[in-house]
Amino acid sequence: MAALDERDRALATRLVMGSVAAEGELDRVIDAHLRRGGRLEPRVRDALRIAVFEALYLSTPTYVSTSQGVELVRSVAPRVAGLANAVLHRVVDEDLPVLVAARDRVETGDFTEDDLARVGALPAWLVSAVVSSCGRDAARRVALSALDAAPLYVGANRARHSVDETFSLLVDAGCEPAACEVEGAFELGRPSGLAASGLVEAVDVLPADLAAQYVARAVAPRSGETVLEVGQGRGTKTVLMESAALATGGPATIVAVDVDEPKACVSRHRMKQAGIASHTSTAGLDATLLGGPDIPPALDRGFGVVLVDAPCSGTGTMRRHPEIAWSLMPEVVDPARDDSLPALQLRILRAAASRVRVGGTLAYATCSLL
């Protein structure tokens, strides 16, 4: 990848991310054109997935995607080039028209769930779950955008720089920032400049989807407020919440917990880098125990703000994490099961609620559409 220019790197990334996001649908299409019981070597299947993704879901001329696909398969298994040629021609002749018709129906609003699954390259069960949770129109928007590249947003670390200073840093890095409706949030028109800038490593800016920045802004602790953050992860929302507090005149005191002690160590180091370690602390703790008696003294009290950033399916982040759609199992998000994510979320929420002081705020967030 390093040897490619910016445009070719972008295409290579698009092909890889897209073929992972659409994996199950691509396999269905490929297998329909193999002899019954036919099997492909993993490298051949990977190459065909990339080729079929380009033929179906990108605007590449079909003769180009077919030719390139055959050569890609030939590069890993020369003897299979003939098979690849036959499969790709059938995909273009048979599957592409069906997809185009399904997309037309989705765009006009007269569609079935099967159309949504095909257009978004999503599992049928997941499409049904999104329709049930969010409604047909929202599910339609999800399907139409599922394979698009996700925009890149960053948030300002106001313990380091003002919003204006952050904007200037991003301009100097060639990122082409545009201010968003959330104060301190920027969408990057040219994200490639961020990697070489060093701004992320120094925690001058924080890559964070706009929805995550909305959460931190909605909680918006005041100067001097006490905050309990449940599910800290790498601490992005911690820095964003502290930034919101600093915008009101001074820091908040944030105590965070994460079930994974190694993650807690990473977060503590990141808080030092961000310049807010003196006002934040992190404990490795199972959040379902927050309502019990045997917890660290720093947590055994009431907080003005409690944010539960719950473990979830991540279905709201599928464009950024393309492996989710086809690796997620229905039982994981079934609220009727005691071992499901919804059941765990409810146990955490109940425990965390016991730590909200009288008159305080309890906030709950997930990255899920369900």
- At 314-367, the pLDDT tens digits run 999 999 999 999 999 999 999 999 999 999 999 999 999 999 999 999 999 999
CB 182 within 8 A of CB 192: no
Q: What is the mean pLDDT of residues 290-314?
A: 93
- At 196-230, the pLDDT tens digits run 899 999 999 999 999 999 999 899 898 999 999 99
Paired with 256 in beta bridges are: 229, 282
CA atoms lying within 13 Å on the CB side of residue 124: 5
Q: Is the pLDDT of residue 38 over 80?
A: no
- At 235-250, the pLDDT tens digits run 999 999 999 999 888 8
- At 253-284, the pLDDT tens digits run 999 999 988 888 899 999 999 999 999 999 88
pLDDT, greater one: 328 or 292: 328
Q: What is the mean pLDDT of residues 58-85?
A: 95
Q: What is the pLDDT of residue 94?
A: 97
CB 307 within 8 A of CB 365: yes
- What does the mean pLDDT of the chain come to? 94
How far is it, in rounded angstroms, from Cα 37 to Cα 161?
A: 61
**Six token digits for residue 319:** 């464009």
Torsions phi, psi for 301 (to 5 deg): -165, 180
CB 137 within 8 A of CB 189: no
Q: What is the pLDDT of residue 123?
A: 98
* C-alpha closest to that of 66 among 77, 78, 43, 50: 50
Torsions phi, psi for 367 (to 5 deg): -100, 35
Q: What is the pLDDT of residue 64?
A: 94
Q: What is the pLDDT of residue 288?
A: 95
